[in-house]
Structure 1
Amino acid sequence: MARGNRQDNGVRKPDMPKAKLNRENLKEAILIFRYLKPYRWTFVTGLLFIALSSGTTMAFPYFLKKLIDSAQSLSLGKDAVSPGTIALWMLGILSLQMVFSFMRVFLFTYVGEHALADMRKEVYRKMIMMPMNFFAQRRVGELSSRISADLSQIQDAVTGMLAEILRGLLTLIIGMVLIFVLSPKLAGLMLSVLPIIVVVGVLFGKRIRKLSRNTQDQLADSNIIVQETLQGISNVKSFTNEWYEIGRYTRSLQDAVKMAINNGRFRGLFVSFILMSIFGTIILVVWYGTTLVQHGAITFGGLTAFVVYTAFVGGSMAGFADLYSQLQKTLGATQRVREILRDETEPVTVIDEPVQEQNKLHGAVTFEHVAFSYPSRKDLHILKDVSITAAPGEQIAIVGPSGAGKSTIAALLLRFYQPDEGRLLFDGKPADTIPLSQLRKQMALVPQDVMLFGGTIKENITYGKPGATQQEIEDAARKANAHNFISSFPEGYETIVGERGIKLSGGQRQRIAIARAILKDPVILVLDEATSSLDSASESVVQEALDNLMKNRTSFVIAHRLSTIRNADKIIVLDQGHVVESGTHQQLLAREDGLYKSLTKLQLEFTSV
């Protein structure tokens, strides 16, 4: 896995890739702000409180100057406002600052959370409605990162970074104006030194961040060694490679230690430089300021206020380096999220509507001279001139060697992909004339590797028909031979199946998937090697459930075990993307040197060994 883009694994979160700060990227980022539109007045109010917060912050040193000068004037016998009065003003300003700061944080958090929730919903909706080709070309981790890490980065920008940038700019502008008002000579001296400190600080910061990333990457590598070793512990022990793995882990840790020490050296130099620079600048400013105080060019209170304003300006300038880095990361996250929002989705309806009368199927399916290649492998022709006809209620079995194109038939039936050539017809109507969601509502898939969601058994069964009654659920489970084992659990249908159904056996998961399909009551059924991964005992129970499911339905059975499809109305034999044989079990066995007969013979020989 690439460095800087590694999952946490208990070590660290992946680094967010950065994007260049240019007009095009900024224009894309601004489009994200359309999600702020429903909350624009709250956002504007938040901006107002940022200005008020910055104003009260910058007023504090001014009143500090007044307080010191007042005390000095009174000590010299001059008329002046009472220090107690000024202190009360300062307490009032401090109280206002607390209110303004609270409102600023609260309003920006309110806007950011709501706007990002809207964005998450839209990104998830777009993502889940993408065609299968979209998912075939991307990793699940990459897509998860879009809706978690990337959107979190944008959320941080809206709720925190934007406010910090605006506050920093206001502080910098107001501070620069005030230090020149207080003393142009001191301001000139300070500005001659401050940029050097900021530039060196930025360079040090870049180097330290790079060393820190390298150290964290090396630690992540060490953690991966532990993970791989523990996952493959049987191999480690069978090859007696315990000491080899210990050595590999030790070397990786030593490299991490060296990097961490090098990083510590640079951080130590950086801290020393910053302390020296800050206090050196303060000493220089105060020294020069005292000479100005002696000559009456500035009061002692003015000098104090100048030092405080200088600290504010320096802090704002130093903070912009990190804010710039955060802005680059936000632009990168925005680009990746916008890629998803721009992509075309499948033409499915958002609202769950019932099947309309004109779209109801009877179950006739026809493949007319279909040819197909996957979009990511256009040079590899999976299906070539395939023609298959299924009458309503017929059981069609699809068999053939691995890579013959069997599962591709199932993908085309469900319209995960479109044929490159030829036509797919349902009841004589071209597939693309039937709305996609209307078509899929009348079809069900039972795959080889059943995917159960991490909720209850009841929730997984009702996935086929949300809102089904308990009686309907139990009837479907009985037909799927699942009711007895479900009832044996203490929680019954409320039993939590665990992630991907890990708490259930393969046969139990398969029967829940069948119950789900029975509850859906499809017109067309697709079974993609639904029993190939089961043992003989589980297979017989599941096969009985499948027989119940296939009654009075057009069924396409993609089979690995040929013994399960002997009673099929028609068996289609595929080889290298072509239909090479077609007929019943007996008709195909009667063919000398036929592929189906050869496959059957091989399986019989294998099972008899």
Structure 2
Amino acid sequence: MSTAPTERPKAATPRSLSGLAPFLRPYRGRIVLALTFMVLAAMATLVLPVALKTLIDEGLVAAEPGARLMALREHFGALFGVGAALGLFSAARFYMVTWLGERVTADLRNAVYAHVVQQSPEFFETTATGEVLSRLTTDTTLVQTVVGSSLSMGLRNAVMGIGALGMLVATNPYVMGQVLGILVLVVLPALLFGRRVRKLSRASQDRVADSSAIAAEVLNAVPVVQSYTQEKREASRFTLSTEAAFDTAKKRTLVRSILVAFIITATFGALLWGLYQGTQAVIRGDITAGHLGQTVLYVIVLVSSVAVLSEVYGDLLRAAGASERLMELLVAHSPVAEPAKPRALPPTKRGSRVTLQGLRFHYPSRPNQAALMDFNLDVQPGETVALVGPSGAGKTTVFQLLLRFYDAEAGQVQVDGVDVREAALSDLRQRIGIVPQDSVIFSASAMDNIRYGRPEASDDEVIAAAKAAFAHEFISALPGGYQSFLGERGVRLSGGQRQRISIARAILKNPPLLLLDEATSALDAESERMVQAALEAAMAHRTTLVIAHRLATVQKADRIVVMEAGRIVDQGTHAELIERDGLYARLAAMQFGLEGSAPAVSLVAS
């Protein structure tokens, strides 16, 4: 179960939509135009009853038979003109508000996504990817519905309702007083039901997000699910989640249905009561038939406006919950912040110097277990240092702190004499290249995947990097060569091929500091031999930190650092460590015991 990045309030209110103001502000001109067309359309609607009154009183009742035909033509022409104006203004309003809805939603989605991808890994320790995807899709769609439709309808009906109320006050205060009483009976229950709808709307969106989180997790691990024949179990788990979302949505829909039923009944009752009062006034001779028609139409406009506003209010409550969830993502602040005045990293020729002093670090999700404790390491420019040790020793954590995915609780991490907290994140990470254990392949071509390391690189430079990583041969054999689409997460490639693409990406970046996290773990013996040669060439003239997996890598390192429980317990060359008969020698002996005289020894990485 995922949790939100910030504490959730008990319920959203329409006031929560104020968070959209920064996204609406750039389009003030279009908003003014939309409001202008909306007011004009509302005014055209309000003119219709007056035109109808004139038609009845002057075209049907008062005129002589000869003149009546001419009057009818004139009045019907005027009515057509009003209708045409209503159609024109309504079309212009629809276009403007729909454009605003689409544009604001796109801007909001872009802003949320751009903000989320800048968050540190700590953010994703507590927020599932599916939760974020749900907010980017479902919640933004709700916001789009309100900005591009419901809000405009609400404002339009508010203008018409106020206008109709004003005309009723001017033409028939008696009927207006009764209608106001009915409106109170309609509005009060809507406000009472609104609180319940608001809570259920937020709960419904949370349940949908839970389903999205489950789907995202399982779809990214389909081979594992199928290999353990857990398809039915995962389908059942997803079904339970969607059923929970359905149950919540059903409750919300039931409450809104009751509200709609009450509003329609009250609206119909108000219409009949106004019509009854009007017919009695005509019979008494107090008003004309045209006046009655005008009054009835204004009552219809007023009460229907209230009915629409009640419906829009429910949409606003749902959108308020969606807006609130999106704002939670936008206000989430990464604990890894850019320095106010970043220090420039000095130029380097032979690789970067790495200095780790007195580091202490706990992962936020594991506050009681130290990942690093009193950790000190100094790596000279151009030096290759291997980090070895059992699982959980803290080797990968060293990489995480160097890349400043997290900040150490105590101590310093320096690259070329500059504390990483004082350097711009882009400058720091541009200086570091990493080949992870699990190669990341994007849904793009082989060319674009390698060029990800340096987007401005030419095709020839990309091909040269692929050749250095021994990836050129299998890429050229693909149906489209370097333009071949590799599939989502590289499903069209083998594990070793994906790893070589990742290595080519790092070689193309050509950084002064290279981090290899078991870079040959997915390769067979022949591929490992070729890639190892490529890595050795890539490691030349730069500083390299290697999380060791194969003895071949360890043997060629300038220094081997042995880690256990977040501390350095020994360091030296391969021969020196074997001679000391410590942890390193025991790990090597265990591996030799598994593989006999095999030339590689596996040292599991954390």
- Normalised to the residue count of structure 1, the TM-score between the two structures is 0.82
Q: 1:120 to 1:452 in 2, by over 3 A?
A: same
Q: 1:421 to 1:164 in 2, by over 3 A?
A: same
Deviates more, 1:508-517 or 1:465-474: 465-474
Choose which of 404, 410, 415 in structure 2 pairs with 1:426: 415
Q: How far off is 1:70 after superposition?
A: 2.3
For the Cα contact (< 8 Å) 1:182–1:298, is it kept in 2? no
Report the counterpart of residue 495 of structure 1 in structure 2: 484
Q: 1:100 to 1:332 in 2, by over 3 A?
A: same
SS at 1:590 equivalent: helix
SS at 1:289 equivalent: helix
Report the counterpart of residue 604 of structure 2 in structure 1: none
Q: How far off is 1:515 after superposition?
A: 0.5
Q: Deviations over 1:341-397 (max 9, x none)?
A: 445465669xxxxx9865777322222222222244443221111122222222111
Q: How far off is 1:565 after superposition?
A: 1.9
SS at 1:425 equivalent: strand
Deviates more, 1:198-207 or 1:509-518: 198-207
The one-letter code sitting in structure 2 at the alignment partner of 1:366 is: T
Choose which of 369, 379, 382 in structure 2 pairs with 1:393: 382
> Is 1:516 matched up with 2:505?
yes
SS at 1:566 equivalent: helix
Report the counterpart of residue 444 of structure 2 in structure 1: 455
Q: How far off is 1:37 after superposition?
A: 3.2
Q: What is the rounded CA distance, in whole Å, between the counterparts of 2:578 and 2:242 in structure 1?
A: 63
Report the counterpart of residue 46 of structure 1 in structure 2: 34
SS at 1:444 equivalent: strand
Q: What is the rounded CA distance, in whole Å, between the counterparts of 1:115 and 1:272 in structure 2?
A: 33
Report the counterpart of residue 592 of structure 2 in structure 1: 604
> Is 1:322 matched up with 2:311?
yes
Deviates more, 1:291-300 or 1:526-535: 526-535
The one-letter code sitting in structure 2 at the alignment partner of 1:559 is: A
Q: What is the rounded CA distance, in whole Å, between the counterparts of 2:157 and 2:113 in structure 1?
A: 34
Structure 1 residues not aligned, in runs of 5+: 6-15, 350-354
Q: 1:61 to 1:418 in 2, by over 3 A?
A: same
SS at 2:377 equivalent: strand
Identity across the alignment (%): 36
Q: 1:399 to 1:489 in 2, by over 3 A?
A: same
Q: What is the rounded CA distance, in whole Å, between the counterparts of 1:18 and 1:297 in structure 2?
A: 54
The one-letter code sitting in structure 2 at the alignment partner of 1:84 is: R
Q: How far off is 1:416 after superposition?
A: 1.8
Choose which of 388, 406, 418 in structure 2 pairs with 1:417: 406
Choose which of 91, 98, 101 in structure 1 pairs with 2:87: 98
For the Cα contact (< 8 Å) 2:2–2:128, is it kept in 1? no
Q: What is the rounded CA distance, in whole Å, between the counterparts of 1:268 and 1:48 in structure 2?
A: 33
> Is 1:37 matched up with 2:25?
yes
Q: How far off is 1:142 after superposition?
A: 2.6
Choose which of 66, 91, 94 in structure 1 pairs with 2:54: 66
SS at 1:464 equivalent: coil
Q: How far off is 1:149 after superposition?
A: 3.5
> Is 1:475 matched up with 2:459?
no
Q: How far off is 1:59 after superposition?
A: 1.0
> Is 1:306 matched up with 2:299?
no
Q: What is the rounded CA distance, in whole Å, between the counterparts of 1:133 and 1:237 in structure 2?
A: 30
SS at 2:580 equivalent: coil
Report the counterpart of residue 289 of structure 1 in structure 2: 278
Deviates more, 1:51-60 or 1:65-74: 65-74
Q: What is the rounded CA distance, in whole Å, between the counterparts of 2:463 and 2:480 in structure 1?
A: 14
> Is 1:127 matched up with 2:116?
yes
> Is 1:505 matched up with 2:494?
yes
SS at 2:278 equivalent: helix
> Is 1:372 matched up with 2:361?
yes
Q: 1:337 to 1:398 in 2, by over 3 A?
A: same
Q: 1:39 to 1:228 in 2, by over 3 A?
A: closer
SS at 2:58 equivalent: helix
Q: How far off is 1:420 after superposition?
A: 2.1
Q: What is the rounded CA distance, in whole Å, between the counterparts of 1:472 and 1:269 in structure 2?
A: 67
The one-letter code sitting in structure 1 at the alignment partner of 2:171 is: L
Report the counterpart of residue 108 of structure 1 in structure 2: 97
Report the counterpart of residue 85 of structure 1 in structure 2: 74
Q: How far off is 1:88 after superposition?
A: 0.8
Q: How far off is 1:274 after superposition?
A: 6.6
- Normalised to the residue count of structure 2, the TM-score between the two structures is 0.82
Cα RMSD (Å): 4.3
Q: How far off is 1:487 after superposition?
A: 0.3
Q: How far off is 1:589 after superposition?
A: 0.9
